[in-house]
Homo-oligomer: A and B are copies of this chain.
């Protein structure tokens, strides 16, 4: 049984960590911090946790207390993990950061997209990008994990087999992505109101979104040449789920793409390649850590269309964080993550 803490636990990725960890046999949540809600019991804020964390309350963050834990999750706005990571690592506490603080290897690029100086560039070299399907071995020995963003997870897992195999033109990638509204967080903003966001569909960030450099970096790692990527995120009127529709152009001769995907992910516990001709639904992964994929090749063209769905709060955040923790601590990779999706 290891002891963990959660920094910044009032948002959706925080409560999702609590929900999932309630089912984890080897993890005990000792601490959850929140400046704004210090003193409030987590089950008073999130009644689904009644009966599971009846005494746990939000507390002020305390580096000493956190430094006594085996691992700390950061479910914070960007910049917070920068400030605390060094001290925790020095105390031997491992860090699983769900924010964007350590996702980009280049501190300069980070600064450009996040509008502030990088607060811990000295840690970038040892930070490991926590996409197990790409970096499993490094994760096992890592002290500092940057959990991938939600869109980047769905997009990278969809393009991975094609780019690794060198079958598509990396210069002509188009990722048309749709997300449920929890992707926008739990902040009280007018556009996220039910009365504004339901019964409607819209794009946002069509001219540039912070996940773009992260996706680009990940896709570049899959092959030699720099990618050319257009990424347009959209808001869809539902709570959870991301659907990425990924377009690319075949450059090599037609292959059996279905077999390529099945082989690449044959041993991946959380990637499910659907049968040929399938159209995965986001609800089929509601609440679980699985990414379901389908690959299509519309007749009469060289275009490949990959459909990739995840739950943005699970495989796109808290579930993937726990998958990383399992790898770091030598637990079975699926521990605590085995329930089926809630459907209907």
Which parts of A175-225 form the interface with B (CB within 8 Å)?
176, 178, 180-182, 186, 188-190, 192-204, 206-208
Q: How far is the CB of A228 from chain B (nearest CB, A)?
A: 6
- A279 contacts chain B at the CB level, 8 A cutoff: yes
Which parts of A276-320 form the interface with B (CB within 8 Å)?
277, 279-288, 290, 292, 294, 296-299, 301, 303, 305, 307, 309
Q: Which of A12, A50, A241 has the most CB of B within 10 A?
A: A50
- A344 contacts chain B at the CB level, 8 A cutoff: yes
The digit string for A241-271, where 1 denotes a CB below 8 A from any CB of B, is 1010101000000000000000000000000
* The residue from B48, B298, B344 contacting A182, defined by CB atoms under 8 A apart: B344
Stretch at the interface among A73-81, A125-133, A160-168, A231-239: A231-239
* Residues of chain B contacted by A19 (CB below 8 angstroms): 340, 342-343
- A15 contacts chain B at the CB level, 8 A cutoff: yes
Contact A48 B193 (CB under 8 A): no
**Given A230-B301, A239-B195, does the pair A176, B245 have CB atoms closer than 8 Å?**
yes
- Inter-chain CA distance A181–B283, complex, in Å, is 16
* Residues of chain B contacted by A240 (CB below 8 angstroms): 199, 344
- A114 contacts chain B at the CB level, 8 A cutoff: no
The digit string for A1-30, where 1 denotes a CB below 8 A from any CB of B, is 000000000001001001100110000000
Q: How far is the CB of A281 from chain B (nearest CB, A)?
A: 4
**Given A195-B239, A237-B238, does the pair A49, B203 have CB atoms closer than 8 Å?**
no
**Given A188-B188, A197-B194, A340-B48, does the pair A245, B239 have CB atoms closer than 8 Å?**
no
Contact B47 A292 (CB under 8 A): yes
Contact A47 B281 (CB under 8 A): yes
Q: How far is the CB of A89 from chain B (nearest CB, A)?
A: 31
Contact B207 A12 (CB under 8 A): no
Q: How far is the CB of A238 from chain B (nearest CB, A)?
A: 5
Per CB-CB distance, the 8 closest pairs between chain A and chain B, nearest first, are A200-B283, A48-B341, A48-B343, A47-B284, A176-B176, A206-B296, A202-B281, A188-B188
A: which residues have CB within 8 A of B?
A: 12, 15, 18-19, 22-23, 46-52, 172, 174, 176, 178, 180-182, 186, 188-190, 192-204, 206-208, 228, 230-232, 234, 236-241, 243, 245, 247, 272, 274, 277, 279-288, 290, 292, 294, 296-299, 301, 303, 305, 307, 309, 338-344
Between A and B, 30 residue pairs with Cβ closer than 8 Å are: A12-B195, A15-B344, A18-B340, A19-B340, A23-B340, A46-B343, A47-B274, A48-B288, A174-B174, A174-B303, A176-B245, A178-B201, A180-B201, A194-B198, A194-B237, A194-B239, A195-B239, A201-B282, A202-B243, A203-B279, A206-B298, A207-B277, A207-B299, A208-B299, A230-B301, A232-B305, A234-B243, A234-B245, A239-B344, A286-B342
